[in-house]
């Protein structure tokens, strides 16, 4: 899905934010032949658009990707803070959501301390 579609499907309360937000894209990994898992990044102080349900949107080799993670990245520490279950993270991010539509949430830029609270 392109940024324009995300922008056009929002409820227009935060048009400028949707337009300027980083659109998180998944990366896929697997360990030693295990099933692949998907991961999105959430970076400190970055307004970010995240999918509500990536399981419904992505497949690898025509198979559903069952495991999803959110990788928390600090620009202050110049390091990865942690990688946590995506759906658990979405629940914890709700207090930082400034807008949403059917498929996406728009998360305001978080401080290092706020990112650590999600863990």
- Structural tokens at position 88: 């658990």
- Does 5 have pLDDT greater than 80? no
Q: According to the model, what pLDDT value does residue 80 have?
A: 98
Q: How confident is the prediction for the chain on average, in pLDDT? A: 91
**Domain, as residue range, for 108:** 3-118
Q: Residues with Cβ < 8 Å from 63, sequence gap 6 or more? A: 35
pTM of the model: 0.87
Residue range 18-33: mean pLDDT, rounded: 93
Domain count, the chain: 1
Q: H or E stretch including 92? A: helix 86-93
């Amino acid at each position: 899905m392109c940024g324009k579609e995300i922008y056009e499907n929002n409820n227009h309360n935060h048009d400028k934010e949707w337009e300027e937000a980083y659109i998180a894209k998944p990366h896929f990994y697997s360990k030693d032949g295990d099933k692949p898992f998907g991961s999105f990044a959430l970076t400190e102080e970055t307004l970010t658009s995240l999918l509500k349900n990536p399981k419904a949107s992505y497949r690898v080799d025509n198979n559903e990707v069952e495991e999803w993670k959110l990788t928390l990245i600090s620009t202050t520490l110049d390091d990865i803070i942690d990688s946590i279950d995506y759906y658990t993270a979405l629940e914890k991010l709700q207090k930082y959501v400034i807008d949403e539509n059917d498929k996406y949430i728009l998360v305001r830029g978080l401080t290092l301390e706020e990112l650590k609270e999600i863990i």
